[in-house]
Amino acid sequence: MTTEPETAGADASRTADDRAVADRAAGDDLTAEERRPPKRWESIRHRIVTPPAIYGTLLVSAIIGTAEDGETDLEILRTTVPTLLVFWTAHVFAEAIAHYGKHGRDRITMREAVKFSIGFSSGLLYAGIIPCGLLLVGAIGLLEEEVAYSFSLLVPVILLGALGWSAIGDRGGAWPAKLLAGFLTGLLGLVVILLKIVFH
pLDDT tens over the chain, length 200 residues: 445 444 444 444 444 455 544 444 444 444 544 555 655 555 666 666 778 888 888 888 888 888 888 899 999 999 999 999 999 999 999 988 888 876 666 788 888 888 989 988 888 998 899 999 999 999 999 999 999 999 998 888 888 888 788 778 767 778 888 889 889 888 887 887 777 667 75
Domain ranges of the chain: 1-36, 48-199
Under a CB-based contact definition with an 8 Å cutoff, are residues 49 and 169 in contact? no
- State pTM to two decimals: 0.68
Closest CA to 63 of 53, 75, 51, 50: 75
Structure confidence at residue 85 (pLDDT): 95
Under a CB-based contact definition with an 8 Å cutoff, are residues 189 and 156 in contact? yes
200 HSE (CA, 13 A, CB side): 14
Structure confidence at residue 48 (pLDDT): 65
DSSP for residue 126: H
**8, exposed or middle or buried, with CB in 10 Å at 0-12, 13-18, 19+?**
exposed
What DSSP letter does each residue of 175-195 carry, written as one string? HHHHHHHHHHHHHHHHHHHHH
Beta-bridge partner residues of 103: 106
